[in-house]
């Protein structure tokens, strides 16, 4: 079979390529999946660089999420069938024609959900809804987030609106405001304009902002913290531009603010089965109603993985880049 591999860590466009490998056989409790579509996430690209929380041994496979069809059943697998369409969000090596996965972690995909949406159902949407669910916000509460035009930022805005939570989005350029408006997402402020803080205050009407979601790093983290009310919470979700957050001690002290991190894979691993079912059920409902949209920017064959990685870095990109074996 063909699979994306790398022999060294480095820039994804330079180190990722396609190799011929043996088709894997499922072990006890596993299934073999024939991959239909697999998305490229930021954490996949950071893994290729060797800078993510998970660092594979080299030579390594790549990719973590896919929509696929069950191709073979391992010993002891029950409740799944050959030919069944499923989604997986934690299967390393998903950028391939075939991959083995733990049967218990697979999510059956409803017939009404297209492959393009099912391929990106788990990692980003589930991280977004898990993050939102962890904040303890009630209907009518306010939160602010930067990287609002990123994949998770868009989802948090849509899911927040569906739950009655007020979300203010920060983007670094004015064009991002219009991009989000085209997707039906309002209350977005560009921080490259003078008086952007006043614009945030006008949007909230002076209401306290209880939570800030920080995904950029550097000075942008301090900007988010500065907007929070007393007793507010700053949640670090990503580090798109810088690995260090620059926050003012005064804001932490005098606001009596809390700063914490959120890593989706850790949260998901510790989450109970009932909560997972509840949140996945809400995701499917929101996607079906159109309240949550999962656009696709482009689809590339495996052989063009370097181009696909480059496309994933495109500023202003709307939607995920997918790989198709």
pLDDT at 195 over 90: yes
- pLDDT bucket at 245, cuts 50 / 70 / 90: very high
Confidence of residue 176 (pLDDT cuts 50, 70, 90): confident
Q: CB of 318 within 8 A of CB of 293?
A: no
The CA angle 58-61-62, to the nearest 5 degrees, is 120
59 has pLDDT over 90 = yes
Record the pTM: 0.82
* The pLDDT value given to residue 288: 87
Pick from 63-67, 116-120, 188-192, 317-321: least confident: 317-321
Exposure on the CB side of residue 46, measured as CA atoms within 13 A? 12
The DSSP result for 169-184, as a single string, is EEESSHHHHHHHHHTT
Q: Which residue has the higher pLDDT, 229 or 264?
A: 229
**123 pLDDT exceeds 90?**
no
Does the pLDDT of residue 20 top 90, yes or no? yes
| In the predicted structure, residue 255 carries a pLDDT above the cut 90 | yes
What percent of the chain has a predicted confidence (pLDDT) above 90? Answer: 78
- As a whole number of angstroms, the distance between CA 240 and CA 247 comes to 16
Q: Residue 242: pLDDT band by 50, 70, 90 thresholds? A: confident
* β strands within 51-207, DSSP E: 60-61, 66-73, 85-88, 98-102, 107-108, 142-145, 166-171, 188-190
From residue 242, give the alpha-carbon distance in Å to each of 104, 213, 217, 313: 36, 15, 5, 15
- For the chain, the average pLDDT equals 93
Q: Please state, for a pLDDT cut of 70, what percent of the chain lies above it.
A: 100
Q: Give the tens place of pLDDT for each residue, 128-175.
A: 999 999 999 999 999 999 999 888 899 999 999 999 999 999 998 888
pLDDT at 122: 87
pLDDT of residue 203: 97
Q: What is the mean pLDDT of residues 41-70?
A: 93
Give the model's confidence band at 53: pLDDT under 50 very low, under 70 low, under 90 confident, else very high. Answer: confident
Which range scores top for mean pLDDT: 105-114, 115-124, 216-225? 216-225
Q: Degrees (nearest 5) of the Cα angle 237, 46, 50?
A: 125
Does residue 216 surpass a pLDDT of 80?
yes
Q: At what angle do helices 42-49 and 305-312 cross, to 10 degrees?
A: 120
CA distances from 13 to 20, 24, 45, 132, 153 (A): 19, 26, 9, 33, 25
Rounded average pLDDT over 2-14: 97
85-107 average pLDDT score: 94
pLDDT of 317 > 80? The answer is no
User: Which residue, among 271, 236, 286, 260, has the nearest Cα to 125 in the 3D structure?
Assistant: 286
């Amino acid at each position: 079979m063909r699979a994306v591999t790398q022999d060294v860590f480095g820039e994804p466009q330079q180190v990722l390529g396609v190799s011929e490998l043996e088709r894997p056989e499922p072990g006890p409790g596993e299934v073999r999946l024939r991959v239909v579509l697999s998305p490229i996430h930021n954490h996949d690209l950071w893994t290729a660089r060797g800078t993510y929380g998970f660092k594979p041994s080299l030579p390594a496979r790549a990719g973590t999420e896919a929509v696929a069809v069950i191709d073979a059943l391992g010993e002891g697998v029950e409740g799944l069938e050959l030919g069944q369409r499923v989604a997986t969000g934690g299967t390393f090596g998903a950028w391939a024609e075939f991959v083995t996965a733990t049967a218990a972690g697979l999510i059956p995909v409803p017939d009404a959900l297209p492959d393009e949406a099912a391929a990106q159902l788990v990692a980003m949407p589930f991280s977004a809804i898990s993050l939102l669910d962890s904040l303890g916000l009630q209907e009518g509460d306010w939160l602010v987030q930067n990287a609002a035009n990123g994949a998770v930022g868009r989802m948090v805005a849509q899911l927040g609106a569906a739950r009655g939570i007020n979300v203010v989005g920060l983007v670094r350029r004015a064009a991002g405001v219009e991009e989000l408006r085209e997707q039906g997402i309002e209350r977005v402020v560009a921080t490259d304009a003078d008086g952007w803080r006043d614009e945030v205050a006008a949007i909230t009407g002076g209401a306290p902002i209880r939570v800030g979601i920080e995904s950029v790093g550097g000075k942008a983290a301090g900007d988010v913290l500065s907007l929070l009310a007393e007793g507010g919470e700053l949640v670090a979700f990503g580090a798109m531009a810088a690995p260090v957050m620059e926050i003012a001690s005064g804001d932490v002290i005098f606001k009596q603010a809390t700063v914490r991190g959120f890593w989706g894979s850790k949260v998901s691993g510790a989450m109970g089965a009932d909560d997972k079912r509840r949140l996945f059920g809400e995701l499917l409902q929101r996607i079906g109603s159109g309240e949550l949209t999962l656009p696709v920017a482009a689809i590339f064959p495996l052989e063009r993985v370097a181009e696909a990685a480059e496309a994933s870095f495109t500023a202003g990109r709307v939607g995920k880049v997918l790989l198709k074996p």
